[in-house]
Amino acid sequence: MNTKDVMEKIGLQALNKFEPREVDGVFVSDMLSDVMAGAKSGNLWVTVQTHKSIVPAANLVDVSAVVITSGKEVPAETIEMATKHDIAILSTDLPIFELVGKLYGLGLVSK
Amino acid sequence: MPECQHQWKMTNIEFGFIVFEKCSHCADLRTYFSPDDTWDEYKEGDCTWSIVENAQTFRFDLQCTECNHLEKFNDLMGLLFCTGCLEDCEVELLRKKYEAEKTWLLVAFGFLPQSKTNPIPAYKLEILSDHFNQRRDTSRSRIIIVPFNLIKDISLCRGEFIHDVGMLSLEPPEERKPLF
Amino acid sequence: MIKEALNASVLEGVERLDTSVEQVYASDLMSDVLAFGKPNSFLVTGLATQQAVISAHMAEFKGVVFIRGKRPKDGAEKLSRDNQLVLMSTELDMYDACVRINSATRGDSPEPVVVTAQEQAEKMLLSNEFEIQGDDFAKAGIVSTDIKSILKKIGFDSKLVRRVAISTYEAEMNVVMHADCGKVILSVTPQMIEVLIKDQGKGIPDVEQAMQEGFTTSTEEMRAMGFGAGMGLPNIKRNTDEFEIDSEVAVGTTLRMKFNI
Amino acid sequence: MAQYYHAHKVDPDLCRGHMTCMRLCPTQAIRVRNGTAGISEELCVDCGSCLVGCPSDAIVPISDDVSETSRFKYKVVVPSPVLYSQFEASVHPYIIHLAFQELGFDAVVDVGDSAEALAFALVEYMKEYTGPLPLISSHCPSIIRLIQVKYPDLVEQVVPLDVPREITAREIKKNLPAKLGLEPEDVGVIYVAPCPARMVSIKQPAEKASSWFDGVVSIKDVFSVLMPHVVGIKETFKESMVPDDFRFTGGWATLGSITRAARMENWLAVSGVHPVMRILDDIENSRLRNIDFVEVLAHMLGCISGPFNVESPYVARANGIKRMQKYLTKAEVDPDDIRKKLKEGYYFFENPVLPRPTTYFDTDLETSIKRMKERERVYRSLRQIDCGCCGAPTCMAFADDFVRGEAKLTDCIFLAQQPDEK
């Protein structure tokens, strides 16, 4: 399953253009330090953080996409930076807990 | 016996805070790792240290899963992502060079003031780069970690620290100030 | 319930474990907890500080679960005791913690669907086993219909499903007619569907002959019922992408049929 | 997701949450949740079993209002041949025509001629046909929907010939306005249907953009207004009153009508959704090797047991047979004309019958299989006695619903009692 499939199945909104990438597990955290320590290449990173510093963190661990939950407005500079560094930013109105339920429903497990 | 092709793994992970202290007397900045989020102000000789920022981070060591070699990283304060703010900064020049190869540049910071005189050795930065590259799909892009003394003027640097700042705030996060 | 689902250790508030929780809110960002968290929720967070407890209290939560084995520093426990909060700590990460609470509240068992290492290695997506009873003409066709409905449900192309159904039916009939019992294994990999049919029966003395259209050893009654018109093996061959037959007289026959996806 | 029209719905005020309909539904399209039955639009094939079975009469047909036809200057009624069988055999078919006229219809046209022509066309079509056998009759719209939903690979074996009622309506619409000197929109053609599937096939046809009919009413509704007129006319009726050119041509109302009309040799006639599903399974497994044609109808004995009828199907069948013996005029077919029209494509469906997209677990293979495994796991934890108390007809259907997130495990009374038992 790639990022585009996940996006379509759950009804996520894409905030920038991206090349679909294989999704390998999910990582949920709002803490950059947590992501640095725990997320793996190909993970879908789910967070409410919208500050542009999520981009370097996402880049560092090479996640397949960042999903911003709770319908948070994402600053333009975050999106701009993400696009520049080839990081897909998706968005949903669901809070983290509900989104996780749906992702699990797709058969995604944490890796 | 051939040398071990180290496969690095994070170990001894400890979550905590980087405390940024500033002295109102000498205007010096110093940083340290603390497991607690302290906000104390204290006097030390002529200096009065008060905390300016308290960012969440974590400490870790890297260990090779093959040969168990352990490399301590307790002198690493954090990583900064170069955003290319200064045209003539050496980091920016390197960044431009590497960008074509889809290699992203990160700057490693040590704690202040020790790292000014005692920077993180280059071999450790290589290990750190290796570790992160081992975790990613390097066919898409790589990362490279360079020492912070390449930065032309720290006071002007607008790079992005990969730290959690303001997470404890009960107010919605506002635009964060540069740390230096 | 949350405690069991997460295999969590309770740091504070054992006596309040039976409190009913209306919602679960997962976040590390305390401003978010205050802004969006609903009263009587449970907070799942990786922020192991007093602030998490304070925020949970201010948002009128019932408790906090710290993930990845994190534990708040001193003071948090007293704080939660004063504010009637339950504190727990789990080794799971936030995703797994949410998944398990999700499953638990839906009444599901907390085991997530995890593909085992062996399955991963073989890339076997599905493997189901069925039994065929020899000589039971009334039940003939049940296995192929079952397999068909599974494949249809998964959403395979209907023409492919039909080829599998026809081949399996023929093979199933052969077992019913000529063997005492048989076993069918349906397996699916990302590239192909495989149906393996193994019977304990009289076996085929001359496989080449059996492959010829019209060749049959079935009895008059069987043919009268429309079975065994000598179409079996040739028909299987026509409908499969790969097909192997291995037969030993008085031992049994194994048919391996492969269909490319 | 596409919206599918259905000619019946659950009235939530009347529904008392009986599980009867859920158990009767042959495609497992009904779930009883929160004390009310709900019908899946996707899976419902309009057979009407639920409508007949509901003890509270809570499943109600959505029928056109007969009075709405007043906007037409000239009104033609095309009754299903089943309608005649609702009346005793002693009622002359002409009486029924007269009764319709008293109700305000200008003409009554039977489908028998079209049926006869189609039977001949079918034979001709099969002579040329070289595709997979057996062919499947297209007469029963409920079965067409069943094939679209549950047997998508069999759609190409459905005879692509249209049905008598549509051919009849088309002839009227094409020829009558000119003959009467009226505009086509001034002539209204109304069908009298024995089952909800016919209504749906007129409101939302599977194989054409729109039906040739302008409206459709159920036999039930028509019968109640027609009966007093029939009784009245019968009192003074004499056979001599029947005009010389009156023809009663019958049509296909009972099981086997089509195969008999087409004088098939290797045929099979099957009725009832469950028996039909078994036959379709056999066809899929390529078991029916010596059969060229199957006549498949959703209701036992054929359309005479359609849910919109008033008379018992057995009585209706007897009525029908007796009336045919007495009054049937053999329909005339012109073989050359039919062959010519068949070549021109006159009898064919406008559009091919296509598979109807149904809910799979997922479009992604791996995910879909994961869910399939999850379903197996859940199913194994159930009692597997299909008690139906959870609101799903079988334990497998319940496991299915659970995996889709439409049911909670605690809906199962056994799991709810022993939540910890694994």
Residue at D349 is within a domain: no
Residue at D382 is within a domain: yes
Is D touching B (3+ C-beta pairs, cut-off 8 A)? Answer: no
Query: What are the tens digits of pLDDT across the range D315-331?
Result: 888 888 888 888 888 77
Kindly report which listed range (A39-53, B8-22, C198-212, D31-45) carries the lowest average pLDDT score. Answer: C198-212
Mean pLDDT of C62-67: 88
What is the per-residue pLDDT for C177?
80
Measured between CA atoms, the residue of chain A closest to residue D405 is A105
Percent of all residues in chain D with a pLDDT value above 70, rounded to a whole number: 94
Residues D78 and D44 in one domain: no
Position C121 pLDDT exceeds 60: no
Residue at D45 is within a domain: yes
Per DSSP, the three-state class of D179 is helix
Neighbouring subunits of C (3+ Cβ pairs under 8 A): A, B, D
Query: Based on the structure, what is the number of domains in chain D?
Result: 3
C158-178 and D273-284 are packed helices; what angle lies between their axes, rounded to 10 degrees? 90
Position A110 pLDDT exceeds 80: no
Confidence of residue D296 (pLDDT cuts 50, 70, 90): very high
Confidence of residue B18 (pLDDT cuts 50, 70, 90): confident
CATH number (domain holding residue D15): 3.30.70.20
Domain residue limits, chain B: 8-161
CATH number (domain holding residue D381): 1.10.15.40
β-sheet with B76-81: strand ranges across: B142-147, B103-110, B76-81, B160-161
Position D421 pLDDT exceeds 50: no
Mean pLDDT of D384-407: 87
In the structure encoding, which two tokens stand for residue C222, read together? 């069987």
Confidence of residue D1 (pLDDT cuts 50, 70, 90): very low
Q: Last residue of some domain: D37, D61, D85? A: D61
B157 touches chain A (CB under 8 A): no
Residues D38 and D79 in one domain: no
Residue at D11 is within a domain: yes
Mean pLDDT of B138-142: 83
Top-confidence residue, C17 or C222: C17
Percent of all residues in chain D with a pLDDT value above 90, rounded to a whole number: 18
Position C43 pLDDT exceeds 50: yes
What is the per-residue pLDDT for C101?
82
Residues D321 and D211 in one domain: yes
Position B175 pLDDT exceeds 50: no
Residues D54 and D83 in one domain: no
What is the per-residue pLDDT for D422?
37
Kindly report which listed range (D324-328, D334-338, D417-421) carries the lowest average pLDDT score. Answer: D417-421
Confidence of residue D96 (pLDDT cuts 50, 70, 90): very high
A26 touches chain C (CB under 8 A): yes
C28 touches chain A (CB under 8 A): yes
What is the per-residue pLDDT for C223?
52
In the structure encoding, which two tokens stand for residue C113, read together? 């669907």
Q: Which residues of A touch C115 (CB under 8 A)?
A: 109
Domain of D406? 361-422
Kindly report which listed range (B79-88, C124-133, C144-153, C248-257) carries the lowest average pLDDT score. Answer: C124-133
Q: Last residue of some domain: D15, D41, D61? A: D61
In the structure encoding, which two tokens stand for residue C156, read together? 């395979």
Let me know the angle formed at the C-alpha of B104 by B102 and B110, rounded to the nearest 5 degrees: 165
Mean pLDDT of D193-212: 83
Question: Chain B: nearest CA to A85, how far in angstroms?
Answer: 8
Kindly report which listed range (A75-89, D248-262, D341-355) carries the lowest average pLDDT score. Answer: D248-262
Which residue has tokens 């439409």? D406
What is the per-residue pLDDT for D189?
92
Top-confidence residue, D342 or C34: D342
- Do the Cβ atoms of B164 and A33 come closer than 8 Å? yes
| Domains of chain A, each with CATH number or no CATH | 3-105 (3.40.1390.20)
Residues D87 and D50 in one domain: no
Beta strands in B45-101 (DSSP E): 47-64, 70-72, 76-81
Query: What are the tens digits of pLDDT across the range D141-177?
Result: 899 989 988 888 898 899 988 899 999 999 898 888 8
Mean pLDDT of D114-128: 87
What is the per-residue pLDDT for C154?
81
Position B173 pLDDT exceeds 50: no
- Do the Cβ atoms of A59 and A85 come closer than 8 Å? yes
As a whole number of angstroms, the distance between CA C198 and CA C185 comes to 9
Question: Chain A: nearest CA to B139, how far in angstroms?
Answer: 11
What is the per-residue pLDDT for B25?
79
Position B45 pLDDT exceeds 50: yes
Confidence of residue A88 (pLDDT cuts 50, 70, 90): very high
The closest CB to that of B162, out of A42, A57, A85, belongs to: A57
Query: What are the tens digits of pLDDT across the range B117-133?
Result: 888 888 999 999 999 88
Residue at D199 is within a domain: yes
Confidence of residue A73 (pLDDT cuts 50, 70, 90): confident
Closest CA to D160 of D127, D194, D126: D126
Q: What is the mean pLDDT of chain D?
A: 85
Q: Which residues of A touch B164 (CB under 8 A)?
A: 30-33
In the structure encoding, which two tokens stand for residue A18, read together? 């991206």
Query: What are the tens digits of pLDDT across the range B19-41?
Result: 888 887 787 888 888 877 777 77
- Do the Cβ atoms of A14 and A65 come closer than 8 Å? no
Query: What are the tens digits of pLDDT across the range C202-224?
Result: 777 777 777 666 555 555 555 55
Q: Which residues of C touch B60 (CB under 8 A)?
A: none
For an interface test with B, give the residue of A34, A35, A47, A60 to mutate (most B CBs within 10 A). A60
Residues D44 and D23 in one domain: yes
Residues D138 and D208 in one domain: yes
Based on C-alpha coordinates, what's the Rg of chain C? 30
Contact partners, residue D51, CB within 8 Å, separation at least 6: D8, D59, D60, D61, D196, D307
What is the per-residue pLDDT for B180?
42
What is the per-residue pLDDT for C115?
39
What is the per-residue pLDDT for C120?
41
Is C touching B (3+ C-beta pairs, cut-off 8 A)? Answer: yes
- Dihedral over Cα of D407, D409, D414, D416: its sign: negative
Residues D385 and D283 in one domain: no
As a whole number of angstroms, the distance between CA C149 and CA D285 comes to 12
Residues D100 and D248 in one domain: yes
B3 touches chain A (CB under 8 A): no
Position B169 pLDDT exceeds 60: no
What is the per-residue pLDDT for B89?
85
What is the per-residue pLDDT for D409?
76
Residues D100 and D203 in one domain: yes
In the structure encoding, which two tokens stand for residue D275, read together? 């028996």
What is the per-residue pLDDT for C56?
84
Q: Do B15 and A33 touch (CB under 8 A)?
A: yes
Confidence of residue D66 (pLDDT cuts 50, 70, 90): low
Q: Do C106 and D408 touch (CB under 8 A)?
A: yes
Q: ipTM of the assembly? A: 0.50
Instruction: Name the strand (E) or helix (H) holding D25.
Output: none
* Count of C-beta atoms within a 10 Å radius of residue C118: 8
Kindly report which listed range (C23-37, C120-134, D280-294) carries the lowest average pLDDT score. Answer: C120-134
Measured between CA atoms, the residue of chain C closest to residue A25 is C95
| Domains of chain C, each with CATH number or no CATH | 2-105 (3.40.1390.20), 117-260 (3.30.565.10)
In the structure encoding, which two tokens stand for residue C158, read together? 């209907």
Position C228 pLDDT exceeds 60: no
Q: Do C51 and B170 touch (CB under 8 A)?
A: yes
As a whole number of angstroms, the distance between CA D187 and CA C167 comes to 54
Query: Residue A13 pairs with which residues in a beta bridge?
Result: A91
Q: Phi/psi of residue B170, each to 5°?
A: -95, 0
